[in-house]
Amino acid sequence: MKSNVVFTETLNLHDEPYTTAEMIAEYAGVSKHAVNQLVRQYKNDLEEYGILAFEMRKLSGRGRPKKIYQLNEEQATLLITYLDNTPQVRAFKKELVRQFYAMKTELLQRQLVRTTGKAGRREMTDAIKESPVLSDKWYVYSNFTKLLYKTALGYDVSKLREARGVDKKATPLDFLNKTELDALNKRQNQITTLIDLGMDYQTIKDVLSNQGVIYQTTLKIPEKARN
């Protein structure tokens, strides 16, 4: 099975992975009606492991919206135990376990890198504050932030927000993958070192521009954002 059956609501590293009753039906070889019936029948059991979430969606974009149940790892695991243990169901169980584990591992890695990055971020801020050659600290800090994203990932913060659907009040750092966070942390450390060496903003910008982008991230800007 190559299809993704485990998802997160957004790209936020704090989201909880889930699958849907539709995915379980499709890949376990059971009718959607039967799976939804099981969800309703054992609703109280499933809610012992968290809120039973759902979204209203038009199937194939037509007709009346249908309720699509979203199940976290514990809920999905429990629900599958109520299905007949056919070869197809057993194969799906193994794939579901694998994908939940892979998703959780990836999110934990991003959280770890994000935590490490917070320390580096504070160090860059401190370096700017303590620098004798940098004046108008807030303006300089804003420019260094733009330089950081541009030279680490190839895009500025505003484009990252558009592509990842990040609200202006939320930090885009929570929506970067591990490779992107690693590149950002590496560039932060370089900028901090150059500031500590007594370089001004323009000199640091020239140095980093000559080194190129660390990791050229691929972004897909929504159509509405481009218009």
User: Does residue 194 carry a pLDDT above 50?
Assistant: yes
**53 — phi, psi (to 5°)?**
-85, 160
Task: Indicate the pTM of the whole model.
Answer: 0.64
**Residue ranges covered by each domain of the chain:** 19-103, 131-226
pLDDT digits (tens, 9 = 90+) for 29-74: 999 999 999 999 999 999 999 999 998 887 666 678 888 999 999 9
pLDDT > 70 fraction of the chain, expressed in percent and rounded: 92
Sign of CA dihedral 206, 120, 107, 59: negative
pLDDT digits (tens, 9 = 90+) for 83-141: 999 999 999 999 999 999 999 988 888 887 777 766 666 688 889 999 999 988 778 88
CA-CA distance, 32 to 26, in Å (whole number)?
8
According to DSSP, the β-strands at 53-57 and 66-71 are antiparallel
In this prediction, residue 227 carries a pLDDT of: 41
Q: Rounded to whole angstroms, what are the CA distances from 166 to 144, 148, 151, 157, 163?
A: 21, 18, 20, 10, 8
